[in-house]
Amino acid sequence: MKNPEKDFPYWLVLVLMIGAYFAYRVISDALYVQVFHIVSKGIWITLFVTVVAFALASGLGLLLALGALSRFIVLRQISRFYIEVVRGIPMLVLLLYIAFVGAPMLVDLVNWIGKPLGFDPMRTRDLSLMWRAILALMIGYSAFIAEVFRAGLQAVDPGQTEAAKALGLKPWHRFRFIVFPQALRTILPPLGNDFVALIKDSSLVSVLGVADVTQLGKIYAAGSFRFFETYNIVALIYLAMTISISLALRRFERHMRQKTTYEG
């Protein structure tokens, strides 16, 4: 049976042809040049929101996964409660809830803690809409990433942990040097998929007025009524980002598999 990974990527050729066509239009058409110049200003905001939210979500997701696998029932139940509740809320609803309900509650909590310490009170508007969006994406994606980490950690052969115990390694050292490096090879592919998905879901922050690619496209299209040209550019930018990252992740996965085979 032919290995599907060795199939010639005709789909990529088609994507490159479409991308080349729109790139030509952007270069040769004054209207497309204008749209791209305006919309592309939001690329850095999109990347910043995505990278920061993903990094925070990965850290929180790892803690939730460890809690779900803990020998303490309280930690297990708290982690499962968080994961199941957050995964059941649509991302857009979570974004609006955190922005307009969770953020004011967080500010009140900070003021309550800081008042006895003599800190100046914080106002809700001091927490920008961009950081509220990052907080919401972090909370939403941490629940999904926690399940990725949990599955990866459980995929490690228990014999590896037993061998580490026999060598006298402490729990942190067992996790740091034995369990996590092996789990990482299982975790990376789905973790990469979550990163790509987060790039696309970052467009939801436009509902809060954050000046990302989608928001700048909406503003320009509403003012110029050039919806076709504007959203062609917006779609092209997101497509370029997601496909580039997907190809990079596939190459990294192949490298990891080859490394595993060589070490084996």
Kind and range of the H or E run holding 238: helix 227-263
How far is the CA of 146 from the CAs of 49, 77, 95, 131, 192, in angstroms? 20, 14, 19, 22, 14
Candidates 52, 44, 32, 55; CA nearest to 210 is: 44
Q: CA nearest 35: which of 217, 213, 207? A: 217
Predicted structure pTM score:
0.87
Residue 120, pLDDT score: 79
**Which has the closest alpha carbon to 197: 144, 146, 135?**
144
At residue 41, the pLDDT reads 92
pLDDT digits (tens, 9 = 90+) for 141-172: 999 999 999 998 888 887 777 787 777 778 77
Using alpha carbons, select from 58, 55, 95, 103 the residue that is nearest to residue 212: 95
Is residue 57 within 8 A of residue 142, CB to CB? The reply is yes
What pLDDT was estimated at residue 26?
A: 77
What pLDDT does 161 receive? 75
Q: Please, what sign has the CA dihedral across residues 98, 101, 103, 105?
A: negative
Q: How many CB atoms lie within 10 A of CB 130?
A: 18
**Helix (H) and strand (E) counts in the chain:** 12, 0
Higher pLDDT, 6 or 136: 136
pLDDT at 262: 52
What's the rounded Cα separation, in Å, for the pair 194 and 249? 12
Confidence of residue 259 (pLDDT cuts 50, 70, 90): low
pLDDT at 6 over 80: no
**Chain-wide mean pLDDT for the chain?**
87
Output the pLDDT for position 4: 55
Residue 246 above 80 pLDDT?
yes
How far apart are alpha carbons 174 and 165 in whole angstroms?
A: 8
Structure tokens at 42: 């939001």
Match 């809690």 to its residue by tokens: 67
Q: What angle do CA 235, 237, 239 make, to 5 degrees?
A: 65
Which tokens hold the place of 17? 């042809």
Mean pLDDT over 80-94 rounds to: 95
All domains of the chain, ordered by start, with CATH?
4-263 (1.10.3720.10)
The sign of the torsion formed by the CA atoms of 187, 190, 193, 198 equals negative
Among 20-29, 55-64, 199-208, 211-220, name the one with the lowest average pLDDT: 20-29
Query: What local confidence, expressed as pLDDT, does residue 5 receive?
Result: 54
The pLDDT value recorded for residue 88 is 93
% pLDDT > 90, the chain: 47
122 phi and psi angles, rounded to 5 deg? -95, 140
Q: Give first-to-last CA distance, the chain, whole Å.
A: 24
Q: Is the pLDDT of residue 25 over 80?
A: no
Q: What is the 3-state secondary structure (H, E, C) of 25-70?
A: HHHHCHHHHHHHHHHHHHHHHHHHHHHHHHHHHHHHHHHHHHHHCC
**How high is the pLDDT of residue 189?**
86
- What pLDDT is recorded for position 154? 87
Band (14; pLDDT cuts 50, 70, 90): confident
pLDDT band at 261 (very low <50, low <70, confident <90, very high): low
In this predicted structure, the answer to whether residue 263 has a pLDDT above a threshold of 80 is no
